[in-house]
Amino acid sequence: MRSSFASLGRPETRYAPSPHGSIGYQVFGSGDRDIVFITGAITNLDAIWDEPTAVRFLDRLAEMGRVIQFDMLGSGVSDPIPHRSMWLPLEANVDTVMAVLDAVGVERAVVYGDTEGGFSAMMLAATSPERTESLVLVNAFPKVTRAEDYPIGIPDDVFERLAEGYAEQHGTSGAMLELTAPSVVDDQRFRNWFTRYQRLSVPLGLARSTFDWYREIDVRAALPLVQAPTLIVARRDARFHRASHSEYLAKHIPHAKLRIVEGADTLPFHAGDFGPTLDAVEDFLIGRQVSVRTERVLATVLFTDIVGSTVQASRLGDQRWLDLLADHDRIVRSQVERYRGRLIKTTGDGAIATFDGPGRAIACAIAINEMLSRLGLPIRAGIHTGEVQLRDGDAHGMSMHIAARVMGQAENGGIVVSSTVKDLVVGSGFTFEPCGVVELKGVPGSWALYEVTSTE
């Protein structure tokens, strides 16, 4: 019989550096399989080991492989987010996971996203398939609130009441358990631990903004790009993390397996009878299929174009214009590298680049525009996030055409993005002005576009 690693004592907490702050993480268990366990904002690596049910859960998970868990920035033992009332954008949370994996020396892992941790898990799987061995989503959702094309979400008025109630009761009453873990709501010992856990996870001042952050996230565009074998597990009678969200995920993630288990407990992850959930996870990991690797990834595409290039070339003369184009190419290359993008090509009077995060694409476009404007070369830029096929150093697919058409809607010095980009940079500090709903030549449907107006 295997010995329990977690029962031998608390694992050592270490810190991984990242551009956004230091991330507290722990590693425990053993085996050939690495499992990165991603939860939501309510997490504290020290306090989790005070609750026996959590220890039993983590013990069981550690029997399946080496477990890597961490506190997201702004939570628990990880660094706070300075000068912010909101959380980091989803893109930065994916960076957090990658920083922890790099610190541990893990190239590929099982990515386990529990409840709100599923947002980062899905984005990581879609943008970095080479790091994702398989994907496990437990009581997750791609979007929390209702929309015209997502009727299973929570209505805005209901969500607002939940957010207000949570902010008022955070760390005091444990009333949240009535919604997310009804089987333990009358267990006073558990409630006492949970309210302390809340206080040690997130300060009261950030409690409300946690819900505000969840309200804005929408990762539906990433779902078709998940290539890894995927298991989706949901509690049949869950009230907040409802099974209908998991059913949506199963329909939109290619070849995903869906397991509905009995019960209503979803948060914290170890509440109630977690045995059936971990049984499903273990069965999946033992019998998982080999991932089908392709060059399809979720990427953010940036197109830029020098405004009035023909007129400028005629006015300046050939040699001066060629010198300026050389400066243009140098600046573009340096900024794309700075923001961790891939320069696909320069086009004579513009450039095409891809990024694994939309926030970096926007920041890069802003930097390029500012630097080139000083040389008298203002640009316009278009940005879209979607499926891209990478082959022989080039990028292909409809997303490339969409980004080019979006750029065509930008004016002198303007940076225009699709609604997909806007939805994915919640909490980034970027602000936008609507450009209207337009038809893009050669692209089906109507598109809501937004101009980047400022950044913090």
pLDDT tens-digit readout, 252-282: 999 999 999 999 999 999 999 999 999 999 9
Q: In this structure, what token pair is assigned to residue 420? A: 């997909």
Among 286, 307, 327, the domain boundary falls at 286
In a domain, 291, yes or no: no
Does any domain span residue 362?
yes
Mean pLDDT of the 195-199 span? 96
Residue 157 belongs to some domain of the structure = yes
Domain end position, chosen among 257, 286, 315: 286
For residue 288, the model assigns a pLDDT of: 58
Q: State the pLDDT confidence band at 89, using cuts at 50, 70 and 90.
A: confident
What's the pLDDT tens digit per position in 15-36? 999 988 999 999 999 889 999 9
Residue 447 lies in a domain: yes
Share of the chain above pLDDT 70, in %: 95
More confident residue, 188 or 175: 188
Share of the chain above pLDDT 90, in %: 80
Do residues 350 and 215 share a domain? no
Specify whether the CB–CB gap between 287 and 62 falls below 8 A.
no
CATH number at residue 406: 3.30.70.1230
List b or e across 337-347, with b for residues whose CB sees 16 or more CB atoms inside 10 angstroms: eebebbbbebe
Q: Of 286, 306, 339, which residue sits at a domain end?
A: 286
For residue 241, being part of any structural domain is answered with yes
Confidence of residue 208 (pLDDT cuts 50, 70, 90): confident
**CATH assignment at residue 214:** 3.40.50.1820
Range of the domain at 47: 6-286
Angle between helices 204-216 and 156-169 (to 10 degrees): 160
Same-domain status, 40 and 129: yes
On whether the CB atoms of residues 226 and 254 are closer than 8 A, the answer is yes
What is the model's pLDDT at position 1?
37
- Structural domain tally of the chain? 2
| Rounded mean pLDDT, 87-105 | 93
* Claim to verify: residue 151 and residue 77 sit in the same structural domain: yes
Q: Give yes or no: residues 254 and 360 share one domain.
A: no
Domain identity same for 139 and 281 = yes
pLDDT (average), residues 211-240 = 94
Q: Is the pLDDT score of 5 beyond 80? A: no
Same domain, 304 and 193: no
How does the average pLDDT of the chain come out, rounded? Answer: 92
Q: What are the tens digits of pLDDT across the range 335-371?
A: 999 999 999 999 989 999 999 999 999 999 999 999 9
CA distance 426 to 359: 9
Looking at the structure, tell me whether residues 196 and 60 fall in a common domain: yes
Predicted model pTM: 0.85
**pLDDT for res 327:** 95
Same domain for 337 and 198, yes or no, is no
Residue range 71-83: mean pLDDT, rounded: 90
360-400 pLDDT per residue, tens: 999 999 999 999 999 999 999 999 999 999 887 889 999 99
Q: Are 112 and 170 found together in one domain? A: yes
**pLDDT tens track for 304-317:** 999 988 888 888 88
Q: 3-state secondary structure string, the chain?
A: CCCCCHHHCCCCCEEECCCCCCEEEEEECCCCCEEEEECCCCCCCCHHHHCHHHHHHHHHHHCCCEEEEECCCCCCCCCCCCCCCCCCCHHHHHHHHHHHHHHHCCCCEEEEEECCHHHHHHHHHHHCHHHEEEEEEECCCCECECECCECCCECHHHHHHHHHHHHHHCCCCCCCHHHHCHHHCCCHHHHHHHHHHHHHHCCHHHHHHHHHHHHHCECHHHHHHCCCCEEEEEECCCCCCCHHHHHHHHHHCCCCEEEEECCCCCCCCCCCCCHHHHHHHHHHHHCCCCCCCCCEEEEEEEEEEECCHHHHHHHHCHHHHHHHHHHHHHHHHHHHHHCCCEEEEECCCEEEEEECCHHHHHHHHHHHHHHHHHCCCCEEEEEEEEEEEEECCEEECHHHHHHHHHHHCCCCCCEEEEHHHHHHCCCCCCEEEEEEEEECCCCCCEEEEEEEEECC
Confidence class for position 324, pLDDT limits 50, 70, 90: very high
Cα 397 versus chain centre, distance: 22
Confidence of residue 209 (pLDDT cuts 50, 70, 90): confident
Average pLDDT (433-441) is: 95
Is 442 inside any structural domain?
Answer: yes
CB 416 within 8 A of CB 409: yes
Q: Is residue 1 part of a domain?
A: no
Same domain (yes/no): 272, 344 = no
- Residue 197 and residue 110 in one domain: yes
The sheet that has 23-28: what strands, in order across it? Answer: 14-16, 23-28, 66-70, 34-38, 109-114, 132-138, 230-235, 257-261
Is residue 231 domain-resident?
yes
Whether 83 and 224 map to the same domain: the answer is yes
Q: Is the pLDDT of residue 291 over 70?
A: no
Using the predicted structure, report yes or no on whether residue 419 has a pLDDT greater than 60.
Answer: yes
